């Protein structure tokens, strides 16, 4: 005869089923006993419960259930042929440590129960015979509650670990920003000192040419403000494919662009790409003051590091550049700016070439 409480559970479970349908994921409880009448009794007891009951008549069959199911609770008899309850729970602890382990036992099996508790840890043990409402079902529900709590704790630990990783990443990013800011401040101070020295030299060189001092000073300031636009500094991995559009534009303007080795474009470099681009464009601009673009040849090579060689095929135009005080002051400024980042701008009069040695680190 079905009790009132069982009818009530049936009603609640049916209502939940029709409301949630197949989307409900039931907790699974595995019962193991070599006596069929015991398992049949448990089937009747758990028929109307809100967990899914699985049944096995041997330890071997019970372990097979773990291959395809997430078992929240296992309740096993102790005395069984081939594999007893202790051996079974030892294996369960190994393959599914989060499964809550329980024991069904008679008073005669108490020594085995104690050995099991000491060896593998048992959440509860239920003695045979049992009371359904006061002992058996409350113990199962308590085990399920414990499993859910442990599951939630594990999820919380994982979430907490992920948050800690995120916080650590944010902290590292902040530390990197502070370090980069300190470096940028040092770079800006160094560039400002260079500008101060360059302008002092300018006043000496152009002492009697006041009309030329102002436009030159403006040129220096322009480069300085363009440099400030590259702040905050970004040290990144890049290759010459990042400059492909710029090289194509040079070719359109009849500038010969020659690679010593076509593989150079695929070499990865580590450095400040924006500053490299700024210095190269300004060197090109200074050369264009005196030379036509079709008189230029850009030779790109990699010997230990990336080198950009700008040849001026017109000898007179090249001499005009190196004899122009403003041009040389700007080139000296670009050389000093490049040195801050490890590079160098060198004018080689006898070869009619201006060399940009980037000193960029090559990445494997």
Specify the CATH number for 4-165; select among 3.40.50.2300, 3.40.50.720, 3.20.20.140, 3.40.50.300. 3.40.50.2300
Model's pTM, two decimal places?
A: 0.53
- At residue 288, φ and ψ (nearest 5 deg) are -70, -10
Cα dihedral 168, 170, 173, 178 in deg (nearest 10): -100
Say if residues 309 and 301 touch (Cβ distance below 8 Å): yes
Query: Model confidence at 351, in pLDDT bands (50, 70, 90)?
Result: very high
The rounded mean pLDDT for the chain is 84
For the chain, give every domain's residue range.
4-165, 206-363
For residues 280 and 255, give the distance between their C-alpha atoms in angstroms, rounded to a whole number: 14
| pLDDT tens-digit map of 1-30 | 444 344 444 444 444 444 444 445 789 999
Dihedral class, residue 31 (left if φ above 0, else alpha if ψ from -120 to 50, else beta): beta
pLDDT for 277 beyond 80 = yes
CATH number of 206-363: 3.30.565
pLDDT for 193 beyond 50 = yes
pLDDT for 153 beyond 80 = yes
Query: What's the confidence (pLDDT) of residue 110?
Result: 63
For residues 103 and 119, give the distance between their C-alpha atoms in angstroms, rounded to a whole number: 13
């Amino acid at each position: 005869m079905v009790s009132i409480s069982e009818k009530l559970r049936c009603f609640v479970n049916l209502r939940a089923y029709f409301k949630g349908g197949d989307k409900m994921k039931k907790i699974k409880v595995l019962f193991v006993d070599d006596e069929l009448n015991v398992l049949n009794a448990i089937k009747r007891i758990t028929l109307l419960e809100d967990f899914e009951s699985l049944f096995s008549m041997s330890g071997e069959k019970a372990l097979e259930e773990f291959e395809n199911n997430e078992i929240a609770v296992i309740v096993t008899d102790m005395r069984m042929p081939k594999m007893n309850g202790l051996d079974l729970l030892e294996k369960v602890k190994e393959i599914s440590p989060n499964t809550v382990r329980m024991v069904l036992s008679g008073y005669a099996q108490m020594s085995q129960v104690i050995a099991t508790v000491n060896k593998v840890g048992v959440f509860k043990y239920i003695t045979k015979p049992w009371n359904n409402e006061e002992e058996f079902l409350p113990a199962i529900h308590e085990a399920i509650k414990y499993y859910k709590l442990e599951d939630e704790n594990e999820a919380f630990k994982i979430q907490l670990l992920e948050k800690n990783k995120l916080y650590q990443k944010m902290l590292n990013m902040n530390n990197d920003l502070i370090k980069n800011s300190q470096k940028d401040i040092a770079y800006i101070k160094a560039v400002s000192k260079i500008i101060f020295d360059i302008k002092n030299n300018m006043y000496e060189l152009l002492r009697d040419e006041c009309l030329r001092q102002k436009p030159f000073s403006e040129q220096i300031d322009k480069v300085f403000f363009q440099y400030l636009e590259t702040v905050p500094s970004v040290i990144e991995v890049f290759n010459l494919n990042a400059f492909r559009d710029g090289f194509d534009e040079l070719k359109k303007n009849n500038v010969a662009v020659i690679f010593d080795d076509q593989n150079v474009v695929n070499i990865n470099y580590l450095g400040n790409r924006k500053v490299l681009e700024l210095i190269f464009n300004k060197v090109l601009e200074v050369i264009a003051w005196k030379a036509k673009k079709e008189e230029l040849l850009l030779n790109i090579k990699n010997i230990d590091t990336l080198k950009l060689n700008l040849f001026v095929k017109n000898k007179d135009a090249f001499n005009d550049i190196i004899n122009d005080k403003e041009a040389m002051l700007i080139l000296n400024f670009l050389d000093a700016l490049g040195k801050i980042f490890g590079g160098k701008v060198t004018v080689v009069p006898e070869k009619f070439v201006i060399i940009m040695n980037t000193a960029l680190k090559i990445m494997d």
